Structure 1
Amino acid sequence: METTIQTLSFISHLSCSSCGNSHSAYQPQLLSACCQLPLESQYEYQPLSKSILTGRPGNMWRYRELLPVLADENIVSLGEGFTPILNLQNLAQKYNINHLQLKDEGQNPTGSFKARGLSMAISKAKEFESEGCIIPTAGNAGVAMAAYCAKAGMKATVVMPRHTPKAFREECYWYGADVQLVDGLINDCAARAKELNADSSLLDVSTLKEPYRLEGKKTMGYEIAEQLNWTLPDVILYPAGGGTGLIGIWKAFKEMQQLGWLPQSIKLPRMIAVQAANCQPLVETYFGRQANCKQYIGKPTIANGLAVPRPLGEHMMLRVLLESGGTAISITEQEMLEGLQELGKNEGLFVAPEGAAVWMAARKMVDAGMINRDEKILLLNTGSGQKYMENVEGMYI
């Protein structure tokens, strides 16, 4: 019989993302025991007014009750979250779009949205007294894990492709991480991480292999609603590699309906998953050109975070697209470069190539009539362009 723990968190249990079987939230978990698929945190929704947010710090921990950390002393934070939503008036005017906004996750600690998920994962690792963590990464997640492990006083092993831009590698070294370079993409790094951690002495915080990075990423959804005064956009475009953010934002909207923070009758946004043409497993599966991503072979892309050929959460991403009435679209390397230049020259924003991809996807979908010019469009830029200088150096169009 499980002991009841007094905590601010409303968490009740974890459920399998495939069959729904329940798993304990009070002991370390990786994939579900039943289906070997990602677990999702479930909450016991108690009466909770939005007014509790008044006066709370402007970071992701303001949603404390809907996050899985049981004790405040285990929170490992560098001030992540509550990134701004910016109005892109110049591009909107140029392309005759009425409502165009961008949430800039590049303003997080370590320069990307990965700070949210890794703050949460490392906090839970600390809570479960792990001695350290290991991660296969395309770049930003490894940097974030290294930083939060340093803050927590934990060991960090980062496994990344050899072609990862130098800025990512160097930052990991400065945080004191053990950096392992591998020839190939993130799936090759995952195989190497498994070899390095054969004795399971380190907690593997790979995308969706543990339940808690998802809970950090979902705070983007809470912020979108709060920052837009408890309204929602008509359409959200999100760069989906591993897809945790896409899944998390949708999870947040559903949770806010359960809490009464959003009305049950509210029209939820269409979620658009944007991928790189060089690595588009979700696009191929969504449009029926393959049964699933398990045999997909991708190529490198200047948008390192989109080079995820076999995402573990593919079934979860497909569910979000289906439930939201969304779709998936891919963007070429040349289009990303054009998007980088447009956002830079017109809006003064130097975004990650992933952020450029979502802008170009929006532009193409508006031109094709797939998004109405009167709809409220929100783009997610997941990181700072500074880290990608090596990828795009000298590629001005």
Structure 2
Amino acid sequence: MIPQVETSLSTLATLTCSKCGQKHDFEMQQRVSTCCAMPLLARYDGSAAISKKVLKNREGTMWRYQEVLPVLDEKFKVSLGEGFTPILELKSLALAYGFENLLLKDEGQNPTGSFKARGLSMAISKALELGAEGCIIPTAGNAGVAMAAYCAKANLPAVVVIPRHTPKAFKEECYWYGAQIHLIDGLIHDCAAEVRRLNQDGHLLDVSTLKEPYRLEGKKTMGYEIAEQLNWQLPDVILYPAGGGTGLIGIWKAFQEMIALGWLKKNVRLPRMVAVQAENCRPLVDTYLGLQANSQHYNGLPTIANGLAVPRPLGEPLMLQVLEQSGGTAISITDEEMVEGVREISKKEGLFVAPEGAAVWVAARKLLTQGWLKPQEQVLLLNTGSGQKYMENIEGRHGV
């Protein structure tokens, strides 16, 4: 379970099973819980209160929240300057569609061009701290690039298993970072099967989404930044492109931690969280709508939003919990609508976003039309990456 309000937090204290709460040792490498085979969640020691004032003169990266991050020794921090990405006003789009307060947090300005830099910076830092000999990952694109970059920085071997149809830019970048690359026919779950085959002896640390506890801790810093950048006031609604769902889960975890820290008031109204998926691969949407019991046997299709091509997300129970706790919803967007969204955001706001970022914009438009969103609400969109890497996916779709 994602924790509700607890005591104040400070340093990493334990890892707990997200399903049953059983504790696991954080001083050794961990993957999923040994009890339920579910994601492990980091918990922090509440014996010392932490004031927001400690942030005043800190670096403008995600590492400014060091007391609630899992790296215990500064010397193991592997950083390329990730985090503290800007929150931008989308005034032209807001005016065109009747939003009064429309914002976008642009994760494409991270190192390696996506929000994956946060999670992989943290995962590789902990891998180094815990003595890993190298790392391996199944990826739809951006996560593999980020892992390759941070492994290069840490001087750790990196193995990337990626769908053959992934745009060349992702594969080339992994190559230049020195990673060993394996191309697979299929989607990310097919890559995961190949990772298991390649790493049968466990000599590499598998940093698959939510199959180790620390990518989540990097991703949650988006939640801390949203609160700090908006002067400790939270938006009414946050729309997030949810493939594996680590960011959606992490942002919600951050809000709970900040309440526990006293950085947010206990009676604060938390945002309604919206999970946006691709129509070609919408396992969470189908489960949320009751069209299937769960996504364990879901079969998806490729989509121009590579990061949303995750047909069987391990974090589905946690994502559903976030939607339930926040009063949120789930919605899917077609590839054609994403192309339209990329074009519209580019022309009206001068931002070339990833198809995933375009998907959340189109979702916001639809939810406003349906009345689920109100014009006066503050709405925050998450663009998770730079559109530059997706050129192969969207070339020739310029439209009129």
TM-score by length of structure 1 reads: 0.98
> How far does residue 9 in structure 1 lie from its aligned partner after superposition?
6.0
Q: Which residue of 2 aligns with 1:287?
A: 289
Please give the secondary structure, in 1, of the residue aligned with 2:393: helix
Tell me which amino acid in the other structure corresponds to 1:60: M
Q: Number of aligned pairs?
A: 390
Tell me which amino acid in the other structure corresponds to 2:41: E
Q: Which residue of 2 aligns with 1:19?
A: 20
345, 369, 372: which one aligns with 2:371? 369
Please give the secondary structure, in 1, of the residue aligned with 2:277: strand
Q: Which residue of 2 aligns with 1:378?
A: 380
Assess if the C-alpha contact under 8 Å between 2:10 and 2:45 holds in 1.
no
Assess if the C-alpha contact under 8 Å between 2:119 and 2:218 holds in 1.
yes
Q: Which residue of 1 aligns with 2:191?
A: 189
CA–CA separation in structure 2 for the residues paired with 1:55 and 1:245: 26
Q: Which residue of 2 aligns with 1:3?
A: none
Work out whether 1:44 is the aligned partner of 2:38: no
96, 107, 114: which one aligns with 1:105? 107
1:214-233 deviations in Å (ceiling 9; x for gaps): 00000000000000000000
CA–CA separation in structure 1 for the residues paired with 2:279 and 2:161: 24
Q: Which residue of 2 aligns with 1:268?
A: 270
Q: Which residue of 2 aligns with 1:10?
A: 11
Q: Which residue of 2 aligns with 1:159?
A: 161
Assess if the C-alpha contact under 8 Å between 1:9 and 1:69 holds in 2.
no
Q: Which residue of 1 aligns with 2:32?
A: 31
229, 249, 252: which one aligns with 2:251? 249
Tell me which amino acid in the other structure corresponds to 2:14: H
Q: Which residue of 1 aligns with 2:301?
A: 299
CA–CA separation in structure 2 for the residues paired with 1:230 and 1:9: 19
Gaps spanning 5+ residues in structure 1: where?
1-7
Tell me which amino acid in the other structure corresponds to 2:192: A
Q: Which residue of 1 aligns with 2:218?
A: 216
CA–CA separation in structure 2 for the residues paired with 1:351 and 1:124: 30
Tell me which amino acid in the other structure corresponds to 2:40: L
Tell me which amino acid in the other structure corresponds to 2:245: G
Assess if the C-alpha contact under 8 Å between 2:10 and 2:50 holds in 1.
no
Q: Which residue of 1 aligns with 2:4?
A: none
Tell me which amino acid in the other structure corresponds to 2:352: F
- Pairing 1:47-126 to 2, within 5 Å after superposition: 47-126=49-128
Q: Which residue of 2 aligns with 1:394?
A: 396
> How far does residue 27 in structure 1 lie from its aligned partner after superposition?
1.2
Q: Which residue of 1 aligns with 2:178?
A: 176
Please give the secondary structure, in 2, of the residue aligned with 1:32: coil
1:59-108 deviations in Å (ceiling 9; x for gaps): 00000000000100000000000000000000000011100000000000
CA–CA separation in structure 2 for the residues paired with 1:252 and 1:9: 13
Assess if the C-alpha contact under 8 Å between 1:9 and 1:70 holds in 2.
no
Moved over 3 A (4+): none
> How far does residue 24 in structure 1 lie from its aligned partner after superposition?
1.2
Q: Which residue of 1 aligns with 2:342?
A: 340
Assess if the C-alpha contact under 8 Å between 1:38 and 1:208 holds in 2.
yes
- Alpha-carbon spacing, 1:203–1:9, altered in 2? closer, same or farther (3 Å): farther
Gaps spanning 5+ residues in structure 2: where?
1-8
